[in-house]
Each structure stands twice: as structure tokens, then as C-alpha cells.
Amino acid sequence: MIMTNKTLNSHIGLFFMVNGKLLLHTCTLSDGEVYGDFINYPESHYTIWQCEYAHIYGVDFDFFPRGRVIFNRVKNIYLLYHDLCIATEADALRERYPVGKCVTGLDEHYKCHMCNENYVKV
């Protein structure tokens, strides 16, 4: 599901930043997958990209910057992981969660073709 600029409280998901456009896919916490102390969005970036965008953009899922929002059930907080080159956009996304309930951070899994020095173009 792609959401507009509404609040994201009680939602987790994954996203891509494509040519300045946020492609956000979310689900409610109750529809997420429990993994230890965390609740995660049930689909991968690869799966979403293949189903929704590969035919439009003609590049691999890891070409554009991307990120993910998960929920820590123990600490009752959202964790928003993102590519370094979209820190400003990640901060804007964080602001759609309740104040103090979402923390942003970098993750080496989320590196686009520009940020990943080992990116292999096919």
C-alpha cells in the first residue's frame, strides 16, 4: 500500500526514493511479521520492486536509495533505516510518526548505486 502524507503511527514499511519521489509501502503493525523483539514489513525490497517498479524503471531494486521502518516491541519505538544520500527525506518521513517515537539510522544494506562502491551494473 502506498500512503500519502498522512501520519504513519502504527505502520511499518519499506520505501524507495526515485527521482525525488517517495515510493512508500506500509502495513499496520498487526499485519507485520514478528521477528524476535521486532515487527517487520512482510515483503522485501526486491519483491516489491519486481512486482511494482522493475518494468517502469528498468533497473535493479538496489539502484535507487531505499530504506525500511521496523518496530521494536520491547522499547515501543520505530526504527527507520535508510541510505546516507536520503537523510533529509528520511527525517521528513520520521516526522510522520509521533514525536520521540521514531529514530533514524544508516544501514549498510541500504546503499544505492551511487553510495555503494561495489555496485555492479548488469
Res 121: pLDDT: 64
How does pLDDT run across 80-117, given as a tens digit for each residue? 999 999 999 999 999 999 999 999 999 888 988 888 77
Q: What is the mean pLDDT of residues 45-54?
A: 97
Annotated domain spans of the chain = 11-106
CB 84 within 8 A of CB 106: yes
Distance CA(67)–CA(92), nearest Å, equals: 13
82-114 burial: b if 16+ Cβ within 10 Å, else e = bbeebeebbeebbebbeeeebebeeeeebbbee
Q: How far apart are CA 112 and CA 45, in angstroms?
A: 12
Model confidence, pTM: 0.90
Query: Rounded to whole angstroms, how far apart are CA atoms 99 and 5?
Result: 16
**pLDDT of the residue at 95:** 94
Amino acid code (one letter) for 10 = S
pLDDT confidence of residue 5: 59
